[in-house]
C-alpha cells in the first residue's frame, strides 16, 4: 500500500524562480529499527540492526531537523533506504531526490509581493531533509528566503520546511 503526494510552492513567482545547483542533505529516523540511508556515496544514517530509534517529540518535530552533509552537487543516484517499522516489518526503498527536485527550483511559501526585487532573495543552497517515521518517508526542503524591507519590517527572512514528497509503505 502506498500513497504519494507533492506539495509544490504555493505563492511562488514562477516568472522569477530561485534555482539551485547544489544542496545540503540530512536523513533522520523515528520509530524505526536498523535504519540505514545511503546517499551521495555516504551513509547518512547507518544504525545497527537492533538499534531502535524513538518516536518524534511533538507534531512539528521535523521543523528542527537539519542537513548533515552540505554542498552536494545536483543530483547523485537515488537515496537507498532500509529499515524496520514499529511493527517489525522490514522495508527497502529508493528515493530519487533528483526526480523530486528535477526543476531545481527552491520551494518556499513566500508571497511574491513579499520578495525583494532589488536585492537577492536567497543566498544559500537549500537543505533537503529525508525523514523516515515508522512506515512513512517524507522529503522536505528548507531554504533561507529574505523578505522585502518595509517600514514595519527590516532584514526579515523566512526559513521554513516545505513538504515535497511523501510515501507510506
- The string of pLDDT tens digits covering residues 129-162 is 999 999 999 999 999 888 888 888 877 888 889 9
Tens of pLDDT, residue by residue over 104-128, are 999 988 888 888 876 677 777 999 9
Q: Which pLDDT score, from 0 to 100, does residue 147 have? A: 86
The predicted structure's pLDDT at residue 152 = 84
Q: Does residue 23 sit in helix, strand or coil? A: strand
Mean of pLDDT values over 52-79 = 94
| Structural domain of 147 | 4-55+64-168
pLDDT tens digits, 10-43:
445 555 678 899 999 999 999 999 999 999 999 9
Name the domain count of the chain.
1
Average pLDDT over residues 68-76: 95
Q: Which residues lie below 8 Å from residue 55, measured CB to CB, with a gap of 6+?
A: 30, 31
Bigger pLDDT: 5 vs 131: 131
Q: Say if CB 105 and CB 17 are below 8 A apart.
A: yes
pLDDT band at 8 (very low <50, low <70, confident <90, very high): very low
Kindly give, in sequence order, each residue whose CB lies less than 8 Å from that of residue 64, ignoring residues fewer than 6 positions away.
none
pTM: 0.87
What is the rounded distance in angstroms from the CA atom of residue 105 to the CA atom of residue 38? 24
Does residue 53 have a pLDDT over 70? yes
CA distance 166 to 7: 9
- pLDDT confidence of residue 80: 98
Amino acid at each position: 500500500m502506498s500513497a504519494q503526494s507533492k506539495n509544490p510552492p504555493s505563492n511562488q513567482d514562477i516568472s522569477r524562480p530561485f534555482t539551485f545547483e547544489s544542496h545540503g542533505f540530512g536523513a533522520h529516523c523515528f520509530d524505526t529499527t536498523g535504519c540505514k540511508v545511503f546517499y551521495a556515496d555516504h551513509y547518512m544514517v547507518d544504525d545497527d540492526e537492533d538499534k531502535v530509534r524513538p518516536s518524534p517529540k511533538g507534531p512539528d518535530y521535523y521543523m528542527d531537523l537539519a542537513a548533515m552533509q552540505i554542498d552536494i552537487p545536483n543530483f547523485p543516484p537515488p537515496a537507498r533506504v532500509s529499515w524496520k517499522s514499529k511493527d517489525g516489518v522490514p522495508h527497502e526503498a529508493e528515493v530519487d531526490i533528483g526526480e523530486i527536485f528535477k526543476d531545481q527550483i527552491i520551494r518556499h511559501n513566500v508571497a511574491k509581493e513579499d520578495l525583494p526585487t532589488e536585492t537577492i532573495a536567497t543566498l544559500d543552497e537549500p537543505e533537503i531533509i529525508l525523514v523516515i517515521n515508522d512506515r512513512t518517508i517524507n522529503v522536505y526542503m528548507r531554504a533561507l528566503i529574505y523578505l522585502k524591507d518595509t517600514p514595519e519590517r527590516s532584514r526579515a527572512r523566512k526559513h521554513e520546511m516545505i513538504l515535497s514528497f511523501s510515501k507510506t509503505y
